[in-house]
Structure 1
């Protein structure tokens, strides 16, 4: 297997739950846009990522170009237009990697700017070793399921909260994304799991997905620690 590494950063959100005047990937976090923090994480030389693909809605290209100019971004990356769903956006990002023979590709939420390098590295390694690997953490709270009678307790030690990155053998992910989109697809692991077992990697509670104003406040606090 090729040891080449690639990354697709998916940033197609509109930020409606943030109640902000711009998409959440462009909100400032410690003086820089959220998406730029995420890009810098995957551009770390130690990770040896050969190609970085950023997936954005086409109407946000100009904004991102202006951000790159304003912040003097010199990180090599390719910007690809997203689709109507996350599945379509990842498929478009994969198309940019079609010329590569193999390797391991990470798919990561563009609004997860605090992912520790150790988690990224561990997930890449597990993706290389197992074909499909996902960062995940144990729920901190008690969890209950719903039924017609009300609710019932679930054993949280047997549950995991899924994060990104999610790393896959490139050809495997390409095969999975050639299949039709289903409404049950919630992430890349759910697209792949009918073709290949999913290996879990220990994630990190700091690996926040910026979705609400509270997430941004917490991310600021973690960065300033």
Structure 2
């Protein structure tokens, strides 16, 4: 079964506090985005990799890639929102299973990927999740109350779907309450299936995340 991964890289690094978009920052001398592409290529060199980038950063990325081992991938111009970028990529994706992944998550492991692709092949969808460790409180007006953390999950990517299902989901018009691809599937009235993720599969959005990423990257390289 042919597989496609769409890697979205449209961030501008506001929370990181840098002029350079976070996906281009270096971890132990290598761009985060390049490490993400390499993670999928190492997992399966036959994966179709599609990268969505803002048009104004495509040339920069192509110049960056010259300095590192080549990883076959196709670049698709990003849209105004993540939704529009993925919709553009879906028009050229050819896989029977389509994974959608954040460009700043370079440490998804084989275990998680195997879980996601297997479940999506069997049930139509799969999103990796982890149970929460911290206590949670719900804000209610000017107060808050404790809630049972066992009722909540932390969601990761890649979110993987059978081709026909995700294409149908992206016929739904964009709205601000679309937080991820799974939320679109739910708007179709379809069930979203969850599987186990991995703890080092963090989304790198802050300077403290970069410190953790340097540690994780050394482990992966070893």
Query: Which interval holds the TM-score relative to the shorter structure?
Result: over 0.9
Number of equivalenced pairs? 218
State the partner residue of 1:34: 32
State the partner residue of 1:95: 91
Q: Matched residues in 2 for 1:35 and 1:186: separation?
A: 22
Q: Matched residues in 1 for 2:14 and 2:142: separation?
A: 34
Structure 2 residue runs of 5 or longer lacking an equivalent are: none
State the partner residue of 1:194: 187
Q: Matched residues in 2 for 1:147 and 1:180: separation?
A: 31
Tell whether the 8 Å contact from 1:7 to 1:49 is kept in structure 2 after alignment.
no
State the partner residue of 1:9: 7
**Post-superposition shift, 1:49?**
4.4
**Backbone CA RMSD of aligned residues:** 1.3
Q: Is 1:216 aligned to 2:210, yes or no?
A: yes
Q: Normalising to structure 1: TM-score of the pair?
A: 0.93
**Post-superposition shift, 1:148?**
2.9
**Post-superposition shift, 1:149?**
5.8
Match of 1:147 among 128, 140, 149: 140
Tell whether the 8 Å contact from 1:47 to 1:121 is kept in structure 2 after alignment.
no
Q: Normalising to structure 2: TM-score of the pair?
A: 0.94
Structure 1 residues 186-216: Cα deviation after superposition (integer angstroms, max 9, x where no partner): 0100111122211101111111101001001
State the partner residue of 1:20: 18
State the partner residue of 1:116: 109
Q: Matched residues in 1 for 2:170 and 2:203: separation?
A: 24
Structure 1 residue runs of 5 or longer lacking an equivalent are: none
1:19-98 correspondence runs (5 A): 19-44=17-42, 46-47=43-44, 49-73=46-70, 75-97=71-93
